[in-house]
Amino acid sequence: GPPPGEYPEGHIEAYVEAAVARGVTELGFTEHLYRCVESAPVLGRFWEGGSRPDLARVTEEMVTDDRTLSLNAYVDAVLDAKD
């Protein structure tokens, strides 16, 4: 598939068509909220305050690396495909 955060025209439609061909009658789309830049003020630094500084460090690195997506772009891509 395309790289994270890229939604090429027809990609979602192809996914839906494949699901329908397999008999799927309902399909949902979801994303891990922490990966969207808009989540930072809401989620804060949720990895802090635990008893495992090593786990907090790894979690911070993972979130920093993964938090590159736009929630608005994701929603727009799904809504555009819906039309």
Indicate the pTM of the whole model. Answer: 0.75
Residues 6+ away with beta carbon under 8 Å from 2: 8, 11
Check if the beta carbon of residue 70 is closer than 8 Å to that of residue 40.
no
Q: How confident is the model at residue 65 (pLDDT cuts 50, 70, 90)?
A: very high
pLDDT tens string 16-45: 999 999 999 999 988 899 999 999 999 999
Q: What angle do helix axes 11-21 and 71-82 make, rounded to 10 degrees?
A: 60
Q: Can you name the residues that pair with 36 across neighbouring β-strands?
A: 69
Residue type, 3: P
Q: Give the pLDDT score at 64.
A: 96
Q: Give the pLDDT score at 76.
A: 92
Average pLDDT over residues 49-64: 96
User: Between 64 and 29, whose confidence is greater?
Assistant: 64
